[in-house]
Chains A and B, each alone.
Chain A
Amino acid sequence: MLEIKNLHVSVGDKEILKGLNLSIKAGEVHAIMGPNGSGKSTLSYVLAGRAGYDITEGLITYNGEDLAALAPEVRAAKGVFLAMQYPVEIPGVTTMMFLKTALNSQRRARGESDLDAVAVLKLVRAKAKTLNVSEEMLKRALNVGFSGGEKKRLEILQMALFEPKLAVLDETDSGLDIDALKLVAEGVNTLRASSRAMLVITHYQRLLDYIVPDRIHVLARGKIVAEGGKELALELEAKGYEHILKEPA
């Protein structure tokens, strides 16, 4: 599904990713762990197509297509989803209105017809229930005055609504207490599917207790420096990043 080869990415003059390789198949859940400043968020933004993150070398192939050649909104319509670390506020635009606009934009890009307000409402309500997203939240302006937990739940709600093929979760655990974390993880787990690939980016091992990955990669200084199964997370937790970084990659 996703094949990243020798990826170099610069922001301004600064090279952040320096030859990253990664391969994820449909049905797999991979985790990327790494210390602050290792390039984790840069990777998520590059996958979603944020302006200002320039690929200077290497190739990202998504379902056989050159991902870099696609505009961000086209990527979304083709099933790339990024649950953001810091979801933004849009004053005056109700959450429901935003969800409807996004859903129908994606449908239109795929040549499907718009869903009317009633159909969208039904769909959203069904998904909202399991994630404990209230009707009241859907009526409020997007992310305005939402708590950290509400913002993250809304990100997962969008993931459930858009049914992406590749879901990237950037620090979805940051700012969550343990109950909120469990709820969000449950939401993610119910979306695990044989047709879907997931990339979970996190600083802490804690999230991986609840979303158990098939494979873990350690990102440091712009490169993958270690790989392994889920037990790698425990090793990192016990020994810290310094330990791994000292070993030759």
Chain B
Amino acid sequence: MSIAAETKAQVAEIGDKYKYGFVTDIEMEMAPRGLSEGTVRYISAKKGEPEWMLEWRLAAFKRWGAMKEPNWARVHYPRIDYQNSYYYAAPKNTPLKQSLDEVDPKLLETYKKLGIPLQEQMALAGVAVDAVFDSVSVATTFKAKLNEAGVIFCPISEAIRDYPDLVKKYLGTVVPVTDNFFATLNSAVFSDGTFVYVPKGVRCPMELSTYFRINASETGQFERTLIVADEGSYVSYLEGCTAPKRDENQLHAAVVELVALDNAEIKYSTVQNWYPGDENGLGGIFNFVTKRGDCRGKKSKISWTQVETGSAITWKYPSCILRGDESVGEFYSIAIANNYQQADTGTKMIHLGANTRSRIISKGISAGKAQNTYRGLVSIYGKAKNARNYTQCDSLLIGGDCGAHTVPYIESRNPTARIEHEATTSKIAEDQLFYCLARGIPQDEAVSLIVNGFCKEVLQQLPMEFAVEAQKLVGISLEGSVG
């Protein structure tokens, strides 16, 4: 092979590592560039929203104007020019409500390519999907089947129109409009996301999932998701995310709120694979996300599981407010940062009720020149008698140019609390790699095997349908990280 051809092949190979980097060529309708009160009104009008929702957005927008972007996270990025991007992008001719056979074939093709066929007969058995494309939900599967069980599973724009009382009752009650810079921005300009309501005593008969796709360039995505599990109900929900390869940075600022009432359980899993940028740190998504669950009822439980392999920057702390007595919060996390990726992620466990329990298992993997920070808060309030927390933070370093940081905050105002914190930092040892090589396992596969072993406790928490995919993703994200 000539040197030129060889270089070409190598470049192609590198490009293939992020296999979701394609762009769908589809005619889009965009809001005018920039952010103003007009933009907020435009989005609200496009969604056909009632007046109360518009008022809510406008109040948030006003508030946002007086806020400052936070800078306490261990991440570095150029100033974001909020006036230089689009806040709404939707494929043209997306009707407000549509059946699956009305969906643009180009969109169906896109999701098929992403491995998420939307036609129900082709779909993964037992998994219902809401497909969000830039600023709108383009399809939601198995809605009818879920309806039979009384479960509401629909785009949040639809819920605002069809179930205003439920939305009004819960929206912004876990993450207030004023919570933080990015959450407030989201409250003003949120576009689409998923609404789930599981009625009393119902065990949701399927896995629910949302697949977020950013396609349009120079556009931010502002996902808003709200999940309410009424007394004694159970739901498992998973979100996946991908975006095209671009040299620009795009902002994804989501807000996710979970509410679990008495004896209810919500299991929320994320496989985040936004475009991470190239080997030199060019491009990639800024993933600035506020996710919080409220264990509002007695003996309720919220469990977060996340596999974060994508994004140029991840700023994300899925948290639990343990308000109900005997409620349980869990956080299982794998954060992989390779090349120039930066991750600052962790959780907050706020113990308010008596006998509340929380468990944090965090696995951070750093390679290349990446920086990976675990930042977590365990806070025991005065009334949280016998609260218990167990935290385990393990970091794995691959190569000598990356960094791992652990920043745990622990506060206890009750002497009966029991808090445990364990942390380890290790490297993939040369002798582990050699052992694998000597048994015939090629280098990339050996790294994948060792890292998957390191993450096993967290991978086991994922719904079975997605665990295998996640394992593969862990391997692919680190390909070529050992030279």
Contacts and interface: CB of A to CB of B under 8 A. Distances in A.
Interface of A: 48-51, 71-73, 75-77, 82, 84, 86-93, 97-98, 101-103, 105-106, 109, 141, 158, 162
10 contacts: A48-B438, A73-B442, A76-B439, A88-B429, A88-B431, A90-B450, A90-B453, A98-B449, A105-B442, A106-B440
Given A88-B431, A88-B432, A91-B454, A72 B449 contact: no
Contacts of B430: 51
Given A88-B431, A88-B432, A102 B453 contact: no
Contacts of A158: 439
Contacts of B429: 88
B441 A102 contact: yes
B438 A101 contact: no
Contacts of B452: 92-93
A91 B453 contact: yes
Q: Which 6 A-B pairs have the closest CB atoms?
A: A92-B453, A76-B440, A93-B453, A106-B440, A92-B456, A102-B439
B429 to A, nearest CB: 7
A93 B434 contact: no
B445 interface: yes
Interface in B415-434: 429-432, 434
Nearest to A82: B438
A90 B441 CA distance: 14
B371 to A, nearest CB: 24
A72 B434 contact: yes
B437 interface: yes
Interface residues of B, number: 23
Interface of B: 429-432, 434-443, 445, 449-450, 452-457
Contact of A72 (B437, B454, B457): B437
- Chain B binding site: helix, strand, loop or mixed by DSSP? helix
A89 B454 CA distance: 12
Given A92-B455, A93-B452, A93-B453, A73 B435 contact: no
A125 to B, nearest CB: 19
Given A51-B434, A88-B431, A77 B453 contact: no
A73 B434 contact: no
A82 B439 CA distance: 8
A90 B456 CA distance: 12
Contacts of B443: 73
A216 B232 CA distance: 74
Contact of A141 (B440, B453, B455): B453
A88 B435 contact: yes
A97 B450 CA distance: 11
Contacts of A102: 436, 439-441
A84 B437 CA distance: 13
Given A73-B440, A101-B441, A105-B441, A87 B450 contact: no
Contacts of B450: 90, 93
Contact of A101 (B431, B437, B445, B456): B445
The CB with the most chain A CB atoms within 10 A, among B432, B449, B450, is that of B449
A158 B438 CA distance: 11
A73 B437 contact: yes
Q: Identify the interface centre among A49, A71, A93: most chain B CB within 10 Å of its CB.
A: A93
A141 B452 CA distance: 12
A109 to B, nearest CB: 7
A102 B442 CA distance: 9
B482 to A, nearest CB: 11
B366 to A, nearest CB: 18
A158 B454 CA distance: 23
A97 B445 CA distance: 13
Nearest to A143: B435
A93 B429 CA distance: 15
Nearest to A78: B440
A92 B455 CA distance: 8
A75 B437 CA distance: 9
Nearest to A97: B449
Contact of A50 (B434, B436, B457): B434
Contacts of B441: 73, 101-102, 105
